[in-house]
Amino acid sequence: MKTFKTIAIIILTISCTSLAFAWGIWGHKHINKSAVFALPESMRVFFYNHIDFVTQESAIPDIRKYTINDKAEFPRHYIDIEAFPVSIDSLPQSSKEASAKYPDSILRKNGFLPWYIQDMMDKLTIAFKEKKTTEILFLAADLGHYLGDAHMPLHTSLNHDGQFTHQNGIHSFWESQLPEQFGDSYNFSTADAKYITDVKKETWRIIKHTHLLVDTLLTIERKIKSTFPEDKIYMKNDKGGVLKNKYNSPVHTLEYARAYHDALKGMVEKQISLSITATADFWYTAWVNAGKPDLTLLDDEDLTKQNKKYYIEDYKAWKNGKLTKLKIEGEF
């Protein structure tokens, strides 16, 4: 238990650093925390006892990229669909099939997000079977991160930052600035977790749906930009130049961000909501496939009793579409 607490403290410390995160720190934390409440109560109580850990750890996969510079981590976060010489429907369905068809160099270059999600599901299922608390929480939190990435359209495209359409910076603009500025109005309540009968099929359904949004979000931004005076698009720094965020991408004015956000007609909120649903569904499916182990046995009864009051309050808030006790320092 002491070791687990130490790890949690390290995560809390590191996750406050200024780095470039997919969906931003704001997005990943809201996704993982919300997913806890969509679980059935037989799982929800256990995950709630560790909700701070699951929430904070949601950013760790990106920290492995940018702080530790773990080269193996990078391709786990994306898949460049256009880079493969076949249609999306012709791509290998499983990681085993992908490894048999493509050399590691191709997978590292083009990304293997959907296949890695499947591998993580296998590992999480084993952790549930073996009733290993630390492994369950680490793997579940990481899996939530990758599922969040799978719902971010530009994580499925070669044109990941609009570099091919003269829209550099749109990646962090769409996934970080927009939800951070307008996310307070989002509804985080979702349907209860459902069992996934075919994980491979569901993984690819998500990827295909997400990829279909790429052209839409790019086209809308170009149209919005054509209607705005150039000096109203970007924030200015003290020297009169374009203000850059911690991703070294341009920061858009609130007026421009609002126009783009409105024109997207709820796309960002919907993708976050779908991320929450998928995370809860995948967690639940891994638990069911593990034989529905009794998670209440993994925690001290006193811990559950101490958390009961907050558990009831937080679950009620989530049912009303809100999250409590989730304050995140702004990135913009």
Greater confidence, 1 or 232?
232
Please write the tens of the pLDDT for every residue from 83-132. Answer: 999 999 999 999 999 999 999 999 999 999 999 999 999 999 999 999 99
pLDDT > 70 in the chain, percent: 91
> How far is it, in rounded angstroms, from Cα 288 to Cα 293?
8
Which secondary structure element, helix H or strand E, spans residue 36, and what is its range? helix 24-37
Instruction: Report the candidate in 134, 142, 133, 81 with the shortest Cα–Cα distance to residue 282.
Output: 142
The pLDDT of residue 9 is above 70: no
Q: What is the pLDDT of residue 328?
A: 59
pLDDT of residue 248: 84
4-23 average pLDDT score: 44
- Contacts by residues 132-139 (CB-CB < 8 Å, ≥ 24 positions apart): 133/4, 133/50, 133/298, 133/299, 134/4, 134/7, 136/298, 137/50, 137/53, 137/54, 137/57, 138/57
Q: Label residue 329 by pLDDT band (50, 70, 90).
A: low
Q: Residue 271 and residue 277: Cα distance in Å, rounded?
A: 10
pLDDT digits (tens, 9 = 90+) for 150-194: 999 999 999 999 999 999 999 999 999 999 999 999 999 999 999
Q: Report the chain's C-alpha Rg in angstroms.
A: 20
In the prediction, which pLDDT does 62 show?
Answer: 83
Note the pLDDT of residue 54.
97
Q: What share of the chain is helix, strand, coil (3-state, %, to 5)?
A: 65, 0, 35
Question: Quick one: CA dihedral 22, 114, 209, 43, positive or negative?
Answer: negative
Residue 293 phi/psi, 5° resolution? -60, 150
Q: How far apart are CA 33 and CA 318, in angstroms?
A: 10
pLDDT at 327: 59
| Comparison of pLDDT for 16 and 315, the residue scoring more | 315
Region 191-214 average pLDDT:
98
Confidence of residue 143 (pLDDT cuts 50, 70, 90): very high
Q: What is the DSSP string of 247-275?
A: TS-BPBPHHHHHHHHHHTTTHHHHHHHHH
CA dist., res. 133 & res. 192, Å (int) = 23
**What does the block give as tokens for 38?**
């969509």
| Res 265: pLDDT | 98
Q: Which is more confidently placed, 263 or 12?
A: 263
Q: pLDDT of 214-257, one tens digit each?
A: 999 999 999 999 999 999 999 999 998 999 987 788 999 999 99
pLDDT of 52 over the 80 cut: yes
- Per-residue confidence band for 271, with pLDDT thresholds at 50, 70 and 90: very high
CA 51 – CA 332 distance, rounded (Å): 26
Count each helix (H run) and each strand (E run) in the chain, helices first: 16, 0
Residue 73 main-chain phi, psi, to 5 deg? -75, -35
The confidence score (pLDDT) of residue 245 equals 85
Q: How does residue 64 score in pLDDT terms, banded at 50, 70 and 90?
A: confident
Across the range 134-138, mean pLDDT stands at: 98
Residue 8: per-residue pLDDT:
45
The set of long-range contacts for 325-329, using a CB threshold of 8 Å and a minimum separation of 24, is 326/29, 326/30, 326/33, 326/55, 328/25, 328/26, 328/29, 329/16
Tell me the per-residue pLDDT of 280-304, one tens digit each, with 9 for 90 and over.
Answer: 999 999 999 999 999 999 999 999 9
Residue 142 has pLDDT above 80, yes or no: yes
